[in-house]
Amino acid sequence: MPSPPPERAAVVLSRREFDAALFDLDGVVTRTAQVHAAAWKRLFDTYLERSGEPFQPFSEEDYQRFVDGRPRLDGIRCFLASRGLSLPEGSPEDGPDARTVWGLGKRKNGYFLETLKQRGVEVYPHAVALLERLRAAGFRTAVVSASRNCEAVLRAAGLEPLFDARVDGVEAGRLGLPGKPAPDTFLEAGRRLGVPPERAVVLEDAQAGVQAGRRGRFGCVIGVRRAGPVGALVRAGAHLEVTDLSTVTVEEGGQ
């Protein structure tokens, strides 16, 4: 599939070319990416202030490069490595105060759930409208998220009926699947829908996610740019980049 410019006025998804659409959750369908980003910043800024190293706060660029779209523990490892830091792995039994990778993961999840309880779940209306149009046109849909809170977020937002399959952090852990940028979770979603990669569209807002889509050889990878520089998702591997899912139109018609 040829690579168009990073921005364009409209994207057409046709049933002649595709049978399924695989959506990331945070930042594509729900506004919980902002809640995640705030939880990560709170976690890492507190840790860095106490590390004994010169304090350089966790930035939006750090979030996009090292954390966004990755499984929680991978994000911790990647960011710490970027600062020349490391922690013992620990174990799943570690509490949120443990100075281990698992401990930091527990603490971050606590921050996320605390903020989610206060704010609730907001959705992107154009993403929900696109899901409804896709399903009306006969597309199968799946949500593919690194989050272990995916099911709770879907339920809170009332989005469960819009997806035929869910592959999230819990499922990836149960099946031993590596997280994004590895393509395995997207490939598992396609398998559950009975759709080969070349007949599926991936919609992602994270660089790790679009990399996963390209590595999985999916028919089309759409980068949904909610923040960051123009073209960054195309450079990471997206076939094209949009800022608003209202520009994605759906065309019916069989193969």
Residue pair 126/247 in contact (Cβ under 8 Å)? The answer is no
Helix, strand, coil percentages, rounded to 5, for the chain: 45, 15, 40
For residues 35 and 217, is the Cβ–Cβ distance under 8 A? no
Question: From CA 255, how far away is CA 239, in angstroms rounded?
Answer: 22
Q: What is d(CA 74, CA 14) in angstroms, rounded to the nearest whole number?
A: 35
Q: How far apart, in whole angstroms, are the C-alpha atoms of residue 85 and residue 91? A: 19
Catalytic residues: 24, 26
224 close to 245: Cβ distance less than 8 angstroms: yes
> What stretches of the chain show up as alpha helix (H) in DSSP?
32-49, 60-62, 72-82, 101-119, 125-136, 150-157, 169-175, 184-193, 207-215, 232-236
If you search the block for the tokens 């608003």, which residue do you land on? 244
